Amino acid sequence: EMKLMNQISRDQLTSIRQFAFDDASKDHSGHGVDHLKRVEQLIHTISQKEENDESISVAAGLLHDVIDDKLTNDPVAKLTQVNQFLVRLNISNPVIDEINLTINNMSFSKTLTDQQVELSLAGKVVQDADRLDAIGALGIGRAFYYSGKVGEAMYDPQKKPRMHMTKEQYRHEPGTTINHFYEKLLLIVDQLNTITARKIGQHRQQVMLKFIAEFKDEWEEIIPDDG
Ligand code: ADP
Ligand code: NI
């Protein structure tokens, strides 16, 4: 069976990109236009090795953070706006449904709920791309950037990482940046869907492990009695 490809045209993607870049343009929490550009590039890299309709992944990748409840206080209204926009662009209903399935269910916090929804292949590729941008050197940068924005400490040796958190704890209880590595970022490599993403992820995992070891060494050199 031949899989339908390029169900979203170049011109439609250009409009979606503009919509998403506008929405992300004022972000200073690590979810800005630069994040979307990296996600799109990673989708392209991963799609080379998969029989994936890259156009659907790119559309969902560009739109995934518009409805994130960390980034908007009205995710339901945002989702409605996204769908009205897609209808106006004449995207077909099954494709709109696949974009919705992806952006509503791809987040890490969704994987902490009991009822997880199986993503389509296009969705799995987007999820991999978004997760890869949360790890490695860029992931380190984004984690500190985000923590500063929400007022979390970088590190507190007295605070232990919280494993097996609920979605609500993960979203709303302050932690520390270093604990965020144990609570989420170091777990990502084992949750990647595609072989290509896993290869990229393994290198990024080593970068994070090395960084954390150095960070703790330097911290203890300066404050030897803490912790
Ligand atoms: P998802 O959308 O898959 O649930 P997030 O939106 O939580 O993922 O993560 C997006 C980015 O924000 C990642 O780079 C992540 O490290 C960062 N981030 C989210 N929550 C925290 C936190 N509590 N501390 C530090 N960084 C965070
Ligand atoms: Ni994202």
Distance (Å, whole) CA 26 – CA 216: 33
- Report the residue among 102, 116, 146, 191 best suited for mutation to probe ligand 1: largest number of ligand atoms under 8 A from its CB: 146
The amino acid occupying position 78 is K
Whether 139 lines ligand 1, by a CB cut-off of 6 Å, is yes
Longest dimension (CA), the chain: 65
Residues with Cβ within 5 Å of ion ligand 2? 65, 130
Give the residues of the chain that fall short of pLDDT 50: 227
Atom of ligand 1 nearest to the CA of 68: 2
Answer yes or no: are the C-beta atoms of 100 and 172 closer than 8 Å: no
pLDDT at 60: 98
This complex has an ipTM of 0.91
DSSP state of 187: G
Fold held by 10-222: Hypothetical protein af1432 (1.10.3210)
Distance (Å, whole) CA 145 – CA 161: 19
DSSP state of 110: G
Q: Quote the ligand 1 centre to 111 CA distance (angstroms).
A: 13
Atom of ligand 1 nearest to the CA of 175: 23
Whether 146 lines ligand 1, by a CB cut-off of 6 Å, is yes
Q: Cα 53 vs. chain centroid, distance in angstroms?
A: 20
pLDDT at 113: 82
pLDDT at 226: 56
Residue 153 phi, psi (nearest 5): -70, 150
Report which secondary-structure segment, H or E, holds 199: helix 195-222
Q: Quote the ligand 1 centre to 143 CA distance (angstroms).
A: 7
